[in-house]
C-alpha cells in the first residue's frame, strides 16, 4: 500500500503507477522534491503536509524505518473506475442499483466500515472525493475486511459534478441529515440511487444538499446529536436491502 523515499516515489510517478495520495513531512524543502510536486500537480494527486507525530505514524505503518526521506506515497490497491463507468456498470447489474457517496468522511476506519456494509447489503459501489476525504489506507483496508478490494470505486475531484452526471443517467440523489422530513424507511429506493453519507458532525456540504432529490434521517435518542457515520450507513443500506427483498 505504501512506497517511500524520494527517488522511489519520483520514479513511480514517472512510470504512471497509480498513487492515491502523497505525504510530505513538515519541514521538507520543496526544492528537494520538485519532480514529485510537479508530477503530482500535473496528475492532480493530493499532496499533504504531515506534522512530526502524524508522519512518524505513517513511517511506522509503512515500515519505512529511517528510509522515508520525508516522503511517503499511498498506492492504489483496489478496482478504480471513473464516475461514469461506476454509474453505468451498476446499471448493468440491476435496474435499481445503490451507490454510496461520501461527503466529508475523514476517518479511514469509517471508510472501511462503510465499504463492508456496502458489500454485505449488496449495494454496488463507492464514490469518493479526492479532497477532504479519508484515503484508502491499510487501516481502511483492514476495517473493511476485504470489502474495499471487492468494490468498484470511483474517485472524483468534484462530488457535485459527479452527482450531476449520475442524475443525467437516471439516478436519484438521496442525502442524509438529522433535520430531514423523510424517514430512512420511506419508500424511496425503487429506482437507481446514490446515497450520500455526510460528516457525522457537519453533515453534507450545502453544494451537495442542493443536488439531492430527497433527504432522509434516522430517528435517534434526543440526548445524542448523531450516529457514527458508518453505523448510519449500515442502518440505511440494510433498510434498502430489506425493501428490495
Q: Any idea what the CATH number is for the domain that residue 53 is in?
A: 3.30.1330.30
pLDDT tops 90 at residue 138: no
Query: Is the domain of 51 the same as that of 141?
Result: no
- In the sheet that holds 71-75, the strands lie side by side as 2-4, 71-75, 19-25, 47-50
Q: How far apart are CA 92 and CA 148, in angstroms?
A: 20
pLDDT digits (tens, 9 = 90+) for 140-182: 888 888 888 889 999 999 999 999 999 999 999 999 998 888 9
**Which pLDDT score, from 0 to 100, does residue 12 have?**
87
Query: Is the domain of 34 the same as that of 120?
Result: no
Query: Is the domain of 56 the same as that of 174?
Result: no
Query: Is the domain of 34 the same as that of 150?
Result: no
Burial class (CB in 10 A: 0-12, 13-18, 19+), 159: buried
Query: Is the domain of 86 the same as that of 203?
Result: yes
Query: Is the domain of 120 the same as that of 167?
Result: yes
What lies within 8 Å, CB to CB, of 235 at 6+ separation is 184, 218, 227
Residue at a domain's end among 12, 45, 75: 75
pLDDT digits (tens, 9 = 90+) for 188-243: 999 999 999 998 778 899 999 999 999 999 998 888 877 899 999 999 999 999 99
pLDDT digits (tens, 9 = 90+) for 50-78: 999 999 999 998 888 878 999 999 987 77
Measuring CA to CA, which residue among 126, 107, 131 is closest to residue 116? 126
Query: Is the domain of 94 the same as that of 189?
Result: yes
pLDDT tops 90 at residue 136: no
Query: Is the domain of 65 the same as that of 177?
Result: no
Query: Is the domain of 96 the same as that of 135?
Result: yes
Residue at a domain's end among 50, 75, 100: 75
- Which triple of cell numbers denotes residue 241? 436491502
Number of structural domains found in the chain: 2
pLDDT tops 90 at residue 87: yes
Query: Is the domain of 85 the same as that of 141?
Result: yes
Query: Is the domain of 51 the same as that of 109?
Result: no
**Which pLDDT score, from 0 to 100, does residue 16 have?**
80
Q: What CATH number is given to the structural domain containing 160?
A: 3.40.1280.10
Helix axes 34-42, 6-14, angle to 10 degrees: 30
Residue at a domain's end among 75, 107, 132: 75
Query: Is the domain of 180 the same as that of 63?
Result: no
Domain holding 22, by residue range, is 2-75
Cβ of 37: how many Cβ atoms within 10 Å?
Answer: 18
Q: Please state the pTM of the whole predicted model.
A: 0.78
Amino acid at each position: 500500500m505504501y512506497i517511500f523515499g524520494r527517488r522511489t516515489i519520483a520514479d513511480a510517478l514517472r512510470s504512471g503507477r497509480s498513487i492515491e495520495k502523497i505525504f510530505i513531512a513538515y519541514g521538507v524543502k520543496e526544492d528537494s522534491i520538485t519532480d514529485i510536486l510537479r508530477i503530482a500537480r500535473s496528475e492532480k494527486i493530493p499532496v499533504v503536509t504531515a506534522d512530526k507525530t502524524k508522519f512518524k505514524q505513517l513511517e511506522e505503518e509503512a515500515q519505512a524505518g529511517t528510509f522515508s526521506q520525508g516522503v511517503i506515497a499511498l498506492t492504489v490497491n483496489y478496482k478504480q473506475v471513473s464516475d461514469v463507468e461506476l454509474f453505468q456498470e451498476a446499471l448493468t447489474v440491476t435496474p435499481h442499483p445503490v451507490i454510496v457517496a461520501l461527503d466529508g468522511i475523514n476517518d479511514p476506519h469509517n471508510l472501511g466500515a462503510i465499504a463492508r456494509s456496502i458489500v454485505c447489503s449488496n449495494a454496488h459501489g463507492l464514490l469518493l472525493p479526492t479532497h477532504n476525504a479519508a484515503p484508502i489506507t491499510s487501516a481502511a483496508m483492514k476495517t473493511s475486511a476485504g470489502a474495499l478490494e471487492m468494490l468498484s470505486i470511483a474517485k472524483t475531484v468534484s462530488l457535485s459534478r459527479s452527482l450531476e452526471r449520475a442524475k443525467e443517467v437516471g439516478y436519484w440523489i438521496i442525502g442524509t441529515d438529522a433535520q430531514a422530513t423523510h424517514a430512512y424507511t420511506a419508500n424511496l429506493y425503487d429506482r437507481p440511487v446514490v446515497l450520500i453519507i455526510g460528516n457525522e458532525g457537519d453533515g453534507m456540504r450545502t453544494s451537495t444538499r442542493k443536488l439531492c432529490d430527497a433527504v432522509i434521517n434516522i430517528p435517534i435518542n434526543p440526548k445524542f446529536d448523531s450516529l457514527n457515520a458508518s453505523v448510519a450507513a449500515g442502518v440505511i443500506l440494510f433498510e434498502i436491502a430489506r425493501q428490495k427483498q
